A and B are shown apart, each in its own frame.
Chain A
Amino acid sequence: MSELKYSKEHEWIKLDGDIATIGITKHATEMLGDIVFAELPEKGSNVEKDGTAGVVESTKAASDVYTPVSGEVVDTNQAIVDDPSKINQDPENSAWFFKLKIKNPLEMDTLMSKDDYDKFAKETST
């Protein structure tokens, strides 16, 4: 089990063997406000690094969710579709979005550590 890694598009990723769990960061949920809708990729579909892999909507606007790595979608979290407010409550844990069987482990190297992401988030939000 690895540490969480982070993308510039405000997703987090946790790698366990060749299965990556992906969600959006706490910082992202704070910027979005109350999340009221979530759309996830289809199980069995293939997603490409930095491509769209879902949508979240707050009362104000819709935002795309990107995947930080490429792979095949092996699982999605129906609980956040049924109750999107869970994403605001526990974004970096139980409110994960989807799981990928990753294609290229080297893609993980392009992502940020928690410290680097926190710095990045602070700089970009001011």
Chain B
Amino acid sequence: MKIKKTSLHRLHQDCNAKFVEFAGYQMPIQYSEGIVEEHKFTRNHSGIFDVSHMGQLFIYGGEDLIKDLEKIFPLDLKNLKLNHSKYSFLMNKDAGIQDDLIITKINEGFLIILNAACKDNDFKILKEFLKEKYKMVLDENRSLIAIQGPKSSQILNDAFDGVKDLNFMSGNWFLFEKQRVYITRSGYTGEDGFEISIANVFVDKLTRELINKGSKLIGLGARDTLRLEAGLCLYGHDLDKDKTPIEANLKWAISKERISKGDFIGSDIIIKQLNDGVSKIRVGIKPEGRIIAREKTKIFNQSDVHIGEITSGTFGPSVNGPVAMGYVENEFSKKNTKVFLEVRGKKHPANICSLPFYKKSYVKEVN
């Protein structure tokens, strides 16, 4: 398989990126300043992330499409306002998560942002389900960049007058060089920020302009530490086909209106788990010392019984200490429960904690 490059590849090289292969793409893991500095710069100023490897799926249709998509996603889509977004998942019949995604109501239908590693399979699943009824485009001609951090609103507003008036999880079309650009106020860092969908041929020019205004390119390494501090899940690690949204502690993302009636993929299991509870659940885990417990680290209770596993763990630069998430048996999921993490043959004390590790307020209501 040929490794793909994004339209910002040249710019990444100009900024001395170190590259890694990620989901079939050559992506920047970090630039010259390194992960910790990039992380802090995003928290304190403004960072730009190339997330063009993610899927941008446009599905065009009206009332029928809304009804059909409600059979797939656990969302109240008929009440989703134009240009508003929701976080959701594509589940299998057993409510196992095949992908997590953001779906936005646009004029002609919906825009769904999918994980890079899942997008082709998602497209296949959705195509099978929706048959040939609707035009579906997994758009390879558009790039996606995120600009995140407290200075981003002002920087982006200099390029697109009015973006600072967008509410969190809502978007609109703007113009760049007479090209239609779709911008949403969203992101995956725990910071205020935006995601920008723009034609491939213009993304380099826009990104350089945003850098000139004071933002900086940030690699996937810092994206991972930022999202983990913010308590956000990474597909393929914290979420996969063997985990349901209830087990992943994401039931807030399932529309209450839809639960009463069911009738979406996986709804039987979701309703059952909501009524009966689950045996394992995702929690935040804070090691007591400086030891870093990474993915697949085993978790034990005070009686030395194996009760779960870490799914993401790293050093959090803003927390200035190790942070982790994982799944534990439900009875050990209460905040402040003491657990032990087995790292290099030794057991280290840690505590179950609430997420996120790092909290900052999103802009909720501008207007």
Contact = CB atoms under 8 A, between A and B. Distances in A.
A2 interface: no
Contacts of A28: none
A58 B36 CA distance: 10
Nearest to B344: A55
Contact of B290 (A37, A59, A62): A37
A34 B292 contact: no
B294 A59 contact: no
A36 B221 contact: no
B42 interface: no
Given A33-B35, A34-B36, A36-B36, A59 B291 contact: no
A57 interface: yes
Interface in A19-49: 33-34, 36-37, 39
| Residue of A33, A55, A60, A84 with highest tally of chain B CB at under 10 A | A60
B36 A37 contact: no
B225 A59 contact: yes
Interface string B285-301: 00000111010000000
Contacts of B184: none
Contacts of B317: 36, 59
Given A59-B221, A59-B314, A36 B34 contact: no
Interface in B263-315: 290-292, 294, 314-315
A34 B29 CA distance: 13
Contacts of A37: 290-292, 315, 322
B292 A36 contact: yes
B89 to A, nearest CB: 27
Contacts of B37: 34
Interface in B199-246: 221, 224-225
B61 to A, nearest CB: 43
Contacts of B153: none
Size class of the contact patch on chain A? 10 to 19
A57 B292 contact: yes
B30 interface: yes
Contacts of B35: 33-34, 58-60
Contacts of A36: 36, 290, 292, 315, 317
Contacts of B315: 36-37, 57, 59
Given A33-B30, A37-B291, A59 B36 contact: yes
A116 B294 CA distance: 35
Contacts of A57: 292, 315
Contacts of A55: 344
A54 to B, nearest CB: 11
A81 B344 CA distance: 17
A15 to B, nearest CB: 29
Given A33-B30, A34-B34, A34-B36, A60 B292 contact: no
Contacts of B34: 33-34
6 contacts: A34-B35, A36-B36, A36-B290, A37-B322, A39-B291, A85-B36
Interface of A: 33-34, 36-37, 39, 55, 57-62, 81, 84-85
Given A59-B221, A60-B221, A62-B294, 18 more contacts: A33-B30, A33-B34, A33-B35, A33-B221, A34-B34, A34-B35, A36-B36, A36-B317, A37-B290, A37-B315, A39-B291, A58-B35, A59-B35, A59-B224, A60-B35, A61-B294, A81-B290, A84-B290
